[in-house]
Structure 1
Amino acid sequence: MRLVVHDLAHRFSGTDLLFEHLDMTVDPGMTVAVCGPSGCGKSTLLSILAGWEKPYAGSVERIGIARTGWVFQNPVGVAQRSALDHVVFPLLAKGFSREEAEPQALEAMRLFDLDHAAGRRFSELSGGEAQRLMLARAVCSRPDMLLVDEPTAQLDTRTAHSVSHVLGNLANQGMIVLVATHDPDTRDACDHVVDLAHYAPNG
């Protein structure tokens, strides 16, 4: 399993290039921080790596990557559904029974210190709890590659460190993890850093 990016460039129609000549190879066990100033294309790069956005130039090879998990910057959920329901649903969609899915969902929630909130409605969660819930849901689906957009933006320093530690452990278990972030601590917790400022035209 491997993610290979070759000579990647992107711009939206009628706009200047966001980045160009980007090369990287990411193997299981690696955590990569994608950083750079606002508007440099961090979220766009994640979309390209996921296969949702076609790059302007260059190529992305997802070798042996069958399942990709995505965690958006802004958590989205169903207000009246429980936190546990949000993590269970992807497993039910994969064919697990509720009895089989709940222990797996609770274990994923426990990773992010959320098992205590399993019975609470999504609308009752804080912003930080909702963000961690989205991480738990993505992890519970056991993706080969996990793409996370600003995972610590709504978290206090202690919780942010804990989340970074969990993401590192997931990579050590064989997952490819890429994190778009403005946070220096989150960046420094990753094994590798891709600073898109270095790939801006004339950058």
Structure 2
Amino acid sequence: MAQIELRGIERVFKLGDSEVHALHELSVSIETGEYVAIMGPSGSGKSTLLNLLGLLDRPNAGTYRLEGRDVTTLSPDEQAEVRSHRIGFVFQSFHLVPRLTAAENIALPLMLAGVPPAERRSRVTKALKDFGLDTRAGHRPDELSGGQRQRVAIARATIMRPAMILADEPTGNLDRATGQDVTALLEGLNAGGVTLIVVTHDPVMGSRARRRLMMEDGMLTHDDGSPAVPSLQYD
């Protein structure tokens, strides 16, 4: 059974008197543990697809089955429950809470899920160490570099041990060397069995995925399942 199954997905937005078909008759399956890059020009539907996969948006038509469950029929509260436990998000602009420290930002999903304080502290301490942030635990986002902020964002995205990570241009605001470090972190999580789906304009990052979904005008135009070179070196 595929982890993700989309069938006949349509997403239409109304702009005044006109309609924009952000996604049109889109069908695709993604297996557990895959590393997939979603690519295409601006306005092709990449981010709309990512939002739909992350249960941040609903299709106008079609079905989305996640781990065998039709999540399009769930209530908003039920979708939020699935989202908090099964899906991690990494964004280009980090989306950290400015007034919270690195440790508090990482702990936020655990607190919202009602994880007891002692377990929260233990898991956050481990995450800070695993992501090389143990000396930055008490720093707020404006006291961190871009790479450190993205590390905090990835630690927060994975603290609930999700089955899937959705990353929207995760290296877009980073310099090349820092972007390489962040890519290595994400690929390491994928190597541990987490499904990794990345939206990117960067052909270098896209080429690293083992599968590329090319989009244009809201439609899937090409599905390239050929393996990428496993090296972490950028040419």
**Which TM-score band (shorter chain)?**
0.7 to 0.9
Unaligned runs of 5+ in 2: 70-81, 223-235
**Matching of residues 144-155 of structure 1 within 5 Å:** 144-155=163-174
Q: Partner of 2:60 in structure 1?
A: 56
Relative to its length, the structure with more strand (as a share) is: 2
In 2, Cα distance between the equivalents of 1:201 and 1:180? Answer: 14
Q: Partner of 1:80 in structure 2?
A: 99
Q: Partner of 1:5 in structure 2?
A: 6
Q: Partner of 2:31 in structure 1?
A: 27
Q: Quick check: 1:135 aligned with 2:154? A: yes
> In structure 2, what residue type is equivalent to 1:94?
A
Q: Partner of 2:77 in structure 1?
A: none
Q: Partner of 2:226 in structure 1?
A: none
Unaligned runs of 5+ in 1: none
CA distance 1:152–1:38, change in 2 (3 Å)? same
> In structure 2, what residue type is equivalent to 1:5?
L
CA RMSD of aligned residues (A): 2.6
In 1, Cα distance between the equivalents of 2:10 and 2:128? Answer: 37
- Give the aligned length: 203
In 1, Cα distance between the equivalents of 2:148 and 2:123? Answer: 19
In 2, Cα distance between the equivalents of 1:15 and 1:119? Answer: 47
CA contact (8 A) 2:33 2:193 kept: yes
- Per chain length, whose mean CA-contact separation is higher, i.e. which structure has more relative contact order (CA < 8 Å, sep 6+)? 1
> In structure 2, what residue type is equivalent to 1:117?
R
In the superposition, the TM-score normalised over structure 1's length comes to 0.85
SS in 2 for 1:138: helix
Q: Partner of 2:72 in structure 1?
A: none
In the superposition, the TM-score normalised over structure 2's length comes to 0.75
CA distance 1:100–1:135, change in 2 (3 Å)? same
Give the superposition deviation at 1:189. Answer: 1.8
Q: Partner of 2:40 in structure 1?
A: 36
In 1, Cα distance between the equivalents of 2:163 and 2:188? Answer: 14
Percentage of pairs with the same residue: 33
Deviates more, 1:127-136 or 1:178-187: 127-136
